[in-house]
Amino acid sequence: MLRMRASEIAAAVGGALHGADVEVTGSVETDSRLVTPGGVFFAMPGEATDGHRFIDAAIEAGAALVVAERAVEQDVPHVLVPEGVTALGALAAEVIRRVRAGGELTVIGVTGSNGKTTTKNMLQAILEQHGPTVTPVKSFNNEVGAPMTMLRIDEATRYLVLEMGASVEGDIARLTAVSHPEIGVVLKVGLAHAGEFGGIETTARAKTEMVRDLPEHGIAVLNRDDERVRAMAAATAARVVWFGTEPGPADDPTHLWADAVDSTLEGTVAAVHRGERSWPLRLRILGEHHVLNALAALAVADALGIELEAAIAALGTMERAERGRMELLEPGGGITVINDAYNASPDSAAAALRALAHMTRQAGRRSIAVLGEMAELGPHAVEEHDRLGRQAVRLRIDRLVVVGPGAKAIHDAAELESSFGQETTYVATAEEAEALLRGELTAGDVVLFKSSNVSGLQVLAERIGGL
């Protein structure tokens, strides 16, 4: 973060300073275990615990300043605020304002029901070749995580890439009001978090907040393949740049599109086109669905004036999308593990199954899908898990292992869809799944793990994968 005095921070967050007007030279943290000397500790109540309980630990770690919601008894400079989350956002807004005023900062926001983290990582791979770039750790994309990312910038930062997630309408609008992105990317509108939103149309309205709030001099980067994203062009005053898997209108020379897409266990290839020019794209990342994410990142690079050839070369250096996202593991014995269990939605799970089916069929290897619950689907949960089970059968996945009560509809549907039940097994826990797999896996098997993080399959995938 920028060097700031405690009084400046108090003014930015609308709080009252108690104690010395110290200079802050370290980072801003909400976890006392991450505090470094000279930093700021935000003591905030959370779902599991209360940050005020850890002020002593933050002081011991070297915190120069504490921001808190109630009186601090310890002898440390502190700022009292009515609400820590609001104060965190206000401080992030002030830091962005100062860096913009004194430098060449460009803020890029990325939203969508799927693909945000992969696209963010692709943008990092491209942009860090052209200037200091700050991106979220993991998938920090909410009212706490996004400001924490914003607060990592300093005077030298050239690009700030933000994931913008939402649980309800208004979440993305609040994040854009803090960061004011010049470029907004919308990847897809799907059923991720549908249980919280109440339906896909509400999801579409929430994602529209990204482009609705862009300035006139901004750029909206939109997926032409998704009809709900296409409709967002009417909601923005910014210039629209498109990407997709079909040629755009002849009078749109900026439209980026791809064809000749193929994916193997060695990676994914495609041909990228813009106007009359074409470039080969070679990704180490598994899965044809990642081509759209690559196109989104390339469209941003193109809009920023970065040569596409250089941007495509940067994408080719990425070894994986993210830990737990179509991550290839080779534990030995001729077995291949694909760990895609960091998160799951109906769209991403279907794409992962298609990738598994395609890659194993090409390689002549046995396909095994270990599937857990897709969380936060609300009233759509049974229907979408049922749909996934039927799809696994129609894709001719050789072996299906379904884990946990929340995912049992996958197994039930697969059993009904297939003419016999030997291809699918239901187990209640990840431990039972591990025992089953260790007894069955043989050389040549390719095992996909796909679920939301709450299922614990990411840890199982890493154990089976030898990490």
342 C-beta neighbours (distance < 10 Å), count: 24
Give residues with Cβ within 8 angstroms of 407, minimum separation 6. 371, 372, 373, 374, 385, 451, 455
The answer to whether the beta carbons of residues 21 and 7 sit under 8 Å apart is yes
278 in a known ligand binding site: no
The answer to whether the beta carbons of residues 113 and 200 sit under 8 Å apart is no
- Distance between CA atoms of residues 158 and 300, nearest Å: 14
The answer to whether the beta carbons of residues 223 and 244 sit under 8 Å apart is yes
The answer to whether the beta carbons of residues 359 and 389 sit under 8 Å apart is no
Rounded to an integer, what is the distance from CA 314 to the centroid of its chain? 19
- DSSP-derived secondary structure letter, 164: -
Exposed, middle or buried, 442 (CB in 10 Å: 0-12/13-18/19+)?
A: exposed
Amino acid at 318: M
- Distance between CA atoms of residues 331 and 321, nearest Å: 19
- Distance between CA atoms of residues 150 and 159, nearest Å: 11
Closest CA to 366 of 438, 445, 422: 445
Judged by DSSP in three states, 426 sits in strand
404 in a known ligand binding site: no
Rounded to an integer, what is the distance from CA 393 to the centroid of its chain? 29
Tokens 């919601």 sit on residue: 69
Rounded to an integer, what is the distance from CA 109 to the centroid of its chain? 12
Query: What is the 3-class SS of 226-269, one letter each residue?
Result: CHHHHHHHHHCCCEEEEEECCCCCCCCCCCEEEEEEEEECCEEE
- Distance between CA atoms of residues 95 and 376, nearest Å: 34
113 in a known ligand binding site: yes
Between CA 172 and CA 179, with CA 175 as vertex, the angle to 5 degrees is: 135
188 in a known ligand binding site: no
Strands of 21-128, DSSP E: 23-24, 28-29, 40-43, 65-68, 78-80, 106-111
- DSSP-derived secondary structure letter, 424: E
- Distance between CA atoms of residues 111 and 35, nearest Å: 29
The answer to whether the beta carbons of residues 172 and 209 sit under 8 Å apart is yes
111 in a known ligand binding site: no
Binding-site residue ranges for ATP: 112-118
Binding-site residue ranges: 112-118
